[in-house]
Structure 1
């Protein structure tokens, strides 16, 4: 949390809502969270089990590829590292993909990330936040309830999967949903790593006009 505005970004006090597809309608009876991939044994958790994992509170900066940045937002959730503790990883696991609902597909959305950058308090699967009145509140469905991944501020926020459903552990980096559509694999906002090809905006790119009035 450095309150440093990356190049090309504009600060906002709001938390704009932008996402692909429809907002997921939470159903506790069918919801689950899976840990799979390069692990000794897959693990599947129901929501009560997830909510009983250790709680982490963290204050973070968020930077969206659509040019907004929001500083000092406090979240409550489960640290990424506490999910990692539930599985035994194979040797040489270096990357992950975090999956989430896209319309009715629980694995329709994904984002790739390097494992080594996700082991601190600033990589968090969140369910509550301090709202504008500074009171604790559940995050809204359109923000990703019941579980939304918030990545470190060294990644653009499309790496923060909404309606999160799974972590896949990988030995090699693989593109996620937006990466397959021309977005940067690394997505560092301070280097303006928005697109794989800096000279071409991918189809489906949203600019500042999409969020300024929210």
Structure 2
């Protein structure tokens, strides 16, 4: 980094869109789905990328990025290795957070809720749709665990690929879907002068959602 680069002076104005109370549906999943669709239609970079926040057993935050694969029955769905670092943290503490960030649209969605595994049948159905190499990779990768070298993982990949040539690649038991049920969803739309539009949905006991505008 150049010694002449002053990070405090890096800023930009947001002015391409706005978000008002009249734009908000009663159910935040409808708005979230619409924003995701708009990000895909706008061909932004990685429109389905979502940051997943979990916690370590000591309560320390832990973050990583995955790809959203579906919004199903009000839940945000992604797939991963159950034995990975995030998988182990989720098993110990089902409270998670999600963040979608679309720089090109000057938008963010922040989600808080609980997470659980999809059924084996649902995970099987999605796994069967994946490209062959992705299915093989899911079988051989000890995700998040140390490995001795890149050659090690490539050799395992090559061996497993040959093993299943011309055959169906079965889903490993330690890989499958995660579904996040939200209880809090915030929509953030960048505005000029840092007076951003922020609206918070919170799930109520009767299943309805309260809606509040938040200060930027």
TM-based fold match above 0.5: no
Q: TM-score, normalised by structure 2?
A: 0.31
Q: TM-score, normalised by structure 1?
A: 0.31
